[in-house]
Amino acid sequence: MTYMNRVFKALSDPTRRRVLQLLRERPMTAGELAGHFPFSKATMSAHFAVLKEADLVDAEKHGKSITYRLRLSVLEDALLAFADSFGIGFPAPTVSKSAKEQPQ
Amino acid sequence: MNRRIEIALAVALAELTAVAMAMLALRWPQIAGDGMDPVTRRRLLLGVTGIVLCPVWLAVGWLMMRWRAGSSRPRVSADQLRYAQVGLVVAAAFLVLLQAWHAHNVLAGQAVGRETMLRLSTIFAGLLVAVQGNFLAKAAPPTGERAPDPAAWTRAMLRIGWVNAAIGLALAACAVGLPIRMLFPVFLGSFLLLMANSLLQRRGLRRPSIG
């Protein structure tokens, strides 16, 4: 997959775009970021992996936690704003925390 | 600094200096002599000065980069240094071409392709500014003593990057469409805007946060 394809794929999901908006405020750990979403850790890890693969975030390991930092070019920032303005994409099917925690 | 980049810059600097010295040796007797009308003398002097300044620009850029690479207050990231190095090598290659064209014109006493070269130089400068601006916030923030807050730094670099990309593209478009006599004021205005924006954003990084 080419670099731009990876960027388009990463920016096509609203959850991943929200992660990027949160990282605009400050670098955050995976746990802090996950706290803003009703998804399982596995789902969030998959989102982080897509963002990292597209080189939109930088991950740094500190002990047991991973800190993510924004790594956007102007073009990627423009694409992010465009995708946000037009509400492109639907959230990928995910397993929410509450659904996972409910007894069978 | 990367050894291959150092060698490429040293070769470019040596070539630029050799051409500048040769041009001085060839044309200085005419400039200093009496058998030339003032207008032609002034034109020749300007031409030779332009050629002599080419290695000076590169040397200043190279020294500044070495100073930044060696500074630990704050220490620039490897990414930032790599982007700056690539920019300097591209600029060095363009300076070699520009000086060769200029030297040919001074030697031949002509102004062959003067307008084309001026337009190409402005397009090159605009695109270089736009591309560098695009990648500015991609680099990791500086670390060490007096390093700014990483998030504030990234936001400031994004703002500088947006302005640089817009001004760079506008400059390239002006170089294609504007009459040649208007290029210099546009170039100067763009340069001043870029410097002012960069200084303001960087100054903002040094301010202590309130609240």
Q: What is the CA radius of gyration of chain A?
A: 14
Decide if B140 touches A, using CB distance below 8 A.
yes
Strand blocks (E) in A23-92: 28-29, 57-62, 65-70
**A42 to chain B nearest CA, in Å?**
26
Do the chains contact at A72 and B150, CB–CB below 8 Å? no
Do the chains contact at A72 and B158, CB–CB below 8 Å? yes
Nearest residue in A to B135, CA atom: A73
Do the chains contact at B155 and A24, CB–CB below 8 Å? yes
Q: What is the rounded average pLDDT of the residues B148-175?
A: 91
Determine which of A2-6, A45-49, A100-104, B41-45 has the lowest per-residue pLDDT on average. A100-104
Find chain A residues with C-beta within 8 A of B158's C-beta. 72, 74, 77
User: Predicted confidence band at A87 (pLDDT cuts at 50, 70, 90)?
Assistant: confident
Cβ atoms B167, B193 nearer than 8 A: yes
Do the chains contact at A69 and B136, CB–CB below 8 Å? no
- The sign of the dihedral angle between the CA atoms of A84, A87, A90, A91 is positive
Q: What is the rounded average pLDDT of the residues B25-52?
A: 83
- Backbone angles phi and psi of B149, in degrees to 5: -60, 125
Report residue B7 as tokens.
């060698």
The reported pLDDT for the residue numbered B202 is: 77
**Which residue in B58, B49, B62 sits closest to B102, CA to CA?**
B49
pLDDT averaged over chain A? 85
**Which residue in B32, B35, B59 sits closest to B48, CA to CA?**
B32
Q: Which of B138, B141, B155 sits opposite A73 (nearest CB)?
A: B138
Q: What is the rounded average pLDDT of the residues B51-55?
A: 92
Decide if A25 touches B, using CB distance below 8 A.
yes
Q: Which of B140, B158, B165 sits opposite A58 (nearest CB)?
A: B140
Report residue A66 as tokens.
């991973």
Decide if B137 touches A, using CB distance below 8 A.
yes
The answer on pLDDT for B153 being more than 60 is: yes
Find chain A residues with C-beta within 8 A of B165's C-beta. 74
Do the chains contact at A75 and B134, CB–CB below 8 Å? yes
Find chain B residues with C-beta within 8 A of A70's C-beta. 137, 151, 154
- Backbone angles phi and psi of A60, in degrees to 5: -130, 130
In this prediction, the answer to ipTM > 0.85 reads no
C-alpha to C-alpha distance for A6 and A79, rounded to whole angstroms: 13
The reported pLDDT for the residue numbered A104 is: 42
Amino acid (one-letter) located at A40 = S
Decide if A21 touches B, using CB distance below 8 A.
no
Report residue B122 as tokens.
């402005």
Amino acid (one-letter) located at B151 = A
pLDDT digits (tens, 9 = 90+) for B37-46: 888 888 888 8
User: Predicted confidence band at A90 (pLDDT cuts at 50, 70, 90)?
Assistant: low
The answer on pLDDT for A33 being more than 90 is: yes
Nearest residue in B to A69, CA atom: B151
Q: Which of A27, A75, A77 sits opposite B150 (nearest CB)?
A: A27
pLDDT digits (tens, 9 = 90+) for B82-139: 888 888 999 999 999 989 988 888 888 777 777 888 898 899 999 999 999 999 888 8
Higher pLDDT among residues B184 and A100, named by residue? B184
User: Predicted confidence band at B211 (pLDDT cuts at 50, 70, 90)?
Assistant: very low
Cβ atoms B79, B138 nearer than 8 A: yes
Do the chains contact at B158 and A71, CB–CB below 8 Å? no
